Structure 1
């Protein structure tokens, strides 16, 4: 009898082990099947727009795809105007613009979310071979040059900005964007703020009728024009100037200081508009008041333009996760490429915007 009981115990223990192992196998198989579902499904996201943001966008898309091997992100650096048009037409999943869309523009589109994703300086770059010291420019000098009223580097206004510097008697050749550009919008917004004559004759926008100069497509085109033409001057994102080993000017702000374009001076510009940005992140951050002595005066926020709704749940989820990365961990990468990190108030606004994203009319899980 005892032997029968012992054998029974052995039998039931063996059966329990077999059942547990079988259950574990089924559970693991189910997990593997789940991980091979929507999360592992290949996703391709397409974006287009700002050349200003292209250096950091390249870093963001590469880093995100490296951590999410099933997601591929293509970004075309075609200018803010082109990006806005493509997202309006539905040919891309997101656009990028250095100028926020105003209410009139939004009224002509399906519902869009505008998400500030970085900020940076629009720098004035130039080609003056043999001049080793970076030049300084006041608002009068910049407006005069781009209005075509200051035509040589030996002009008295430029000499006043650069005491002790032997500026050459070289003709100034202006380089500007030919495509619809948020960088142009930021630059002309600054010029309109500091020069009544510019505001009256030219104004601001993604595209303007330039009084003088030669055109280039994208920041790449303007950089190329400046690099190849002695005496040329243009406006580009800082990384483009640095990559092409071109000098950049320090710009005089309302506090009377000549400020170089960099991350810290852009951060100071953002800080000067904290109250306004908390109410409307579309607020321009050019020409900061004199109470911000370290602010670079030609700074701009850049924006992702994203349809509020879309039909594909998997794609929309991947897009939301990418934008979430951009406004959080991606900010550290932005800082290494001369873009200023977003302040906490703007990040909070971005998170609220992301919560409004839907797929097929339903909240994204």
Structure 2
């Protein structure tokens, strides 16, 4: 077997601006039954690329639903991917010894993004895998999982046909807001420009509060936020002037920098609230050790990191703390920019990730993909059913399926949803647009993009670590676009 700690998947997708990742999940959009002849692209890696490609091909040969093409020119569709898999530590064969040696059982982490695209470069299906905790042949295991998820997608039936928006006169749309969905927005805007070259969409990831303030000041055409209350919080009384359109679903995860930790740390709601209130100051505090039996937590000071800017990610984080801690709800509450009792500040998901990575003993909170992009460990969080659940698109999907139905204005928090397998800090993220847009060209361009976002764009979400919005939500969303006038 290859040295997995040096295994690096850095393959390029034809449509992808950048590759980030998260947990094992298949994108839910079905693939057209007619797309059967598959060409598997070579994976560009430091080592092991050919073995991985051979393993993927071997697994695909077992499927009756596909045939393999020898080259791209004779294929109906192309399968490609990229990402990273590495060893983050070792589990001791004898936990009583304390110190974990490199000859223990390796613990894998990382991600592998996969896209299936047609001959025109359009994404038909996407999927994102992380390795199992233990594996005798990590490349083989990942190949098996990828083939299984692809077969499941093929069995779902034909993808709904959607009309590509008609080309608009040369138009520029400006947006600003949340960093939470920025990786997928970045890809979407590039992909949409290829289909509509006369339209240019720019986006500044400056945080939910700053972006929506720009929208309120009419300096951008649309905003983006992870908080359904952002308009109400920033401009009470103006709620009816703006529409919220869910784009994808993501998760906020607690990220930690604890060198030498042999496993994933588990957090109770009490522990997270206590840490962010400044009441729990050591990593080996009894409240943490009780939830992490068998894990040797260090005698190390906790360095708390939080967002400096008004943030929808902060809203989701404090919404969870408010719903699970009456003391937090009374003293701090849920907000885009709460009055933090303690902690060091950083701007954006990138800034929090960077500060946590630089500081031993640090804890912060970021959107899921930023954790893997920055090789940060993220903890499991106890949900309402008492389970300690790690973020993954499967556990985010469980949160969506067990949450209340979206209202007509699409504003709902799915934080702390009940149900088995639910990751409790999951959230929709929204594009926010004015109800009235006087400029015909901009109105037509924006509504065209929103229709595309609710349709074909969703197939690109999973490879970047986001859950596509549910189909029934997409249908209602397309109908709601007509409210823009």
Q: State the TM bucket, normalised to the shorter chain.
A: 0.7 to 0.9
Q: Distance in 1 between matches of 2:366 and 2:201?
A: 25
Does the CA contact (< 8 Å) of 1:96 and 1:303 recur in 2? Answer: yes
Query: Given that residues 175 and 222 in structure 1 are in contact (C-alpha distance below 8 angstroms), is that contact kept between their aligned partners in structure 2?
Result: yes
Check the 8 A contact 1:119/1:302 in 2, yes or no: yes
2:467 matched to 1:357?
A: no
Which structure has greater strand proportion? 2
Displacement of 1:348 in angstroms is: 2.7
Decide whether the 8 Å contact of 1:114 with 1:306 is kept in 2: yes
Q: Match for residue 339 of structure 1?
A: 466
Q: Is the 8 A contact 2:232 2:239 kept in 1?
A: no
Specify which structure has the bigger relative contact order, considering alpha-carbon pairs within 8 angstroms and separated by 6 or more residues: 1
Q: Work out which of the residue numbers 312, 315, 335 in structure 1 matches 2:442.
A: 315
Q: Structure 2 stretches of 5 or more lacking a match?
A: 1-165
Compared CA separation, residues 222 and 103, structure 1 to 2 (3 A) = closer
Aligned-residue offset at 1:310: 1.7
Structure 2 counterpart SS, 1:64: helix
Displacement of 1:72 in angstroms is 1.0
Higher Rg of the two aligned structures: 1
CA distance in structure 1 between the partners assigned to 2:476 and 2:435 by the alignment: 15
In the comparison of the two structures, how many residue pairs are matched?
A: 318
Q: Which runs of 4+ in 1 moved over 4 A?
A: none
Partner of 1:56: 184
2:309 maps to which residue? 179
1:52-201, aligned counterparts within 5 Å?
52-101=180-229, 105=235, 107-108=237-238, 111-201=241-331
Alignment pair present for 1:286 and 2:415: yes
How far off its partner does 1:278 sit? 4.5
**Contact kept? 1:148, 1:211, Cα under 8 Å:** yes
| Aligned match for 2:343, one of 213, 216, 233 | 213
- Distance in 1 (CA, whole Å) between partners of 2:376 and 2:226 is 22
Does 2:475 correspond to 1:327? no
Q: Which of the two has greater helix per residue? A: 1
RMSD: 1.6
TM-score by length of 1: 0.84
Aligned counterparts of 2:482 and 2:255: Cα–Cα separation in 1? 40
Q: Secondary structure at the match of 1:150?
A: coil
Match of 1:296 in 2: 423
Superposed CA offset, 1:33-87 (max 9, x none): xxxxx93522111100001011111111111112211111110000000111111
Given that 2:244 and 2:410 are in contact with CA atoms closer than 8 Å, whether structure 1 keeps it comes out as no
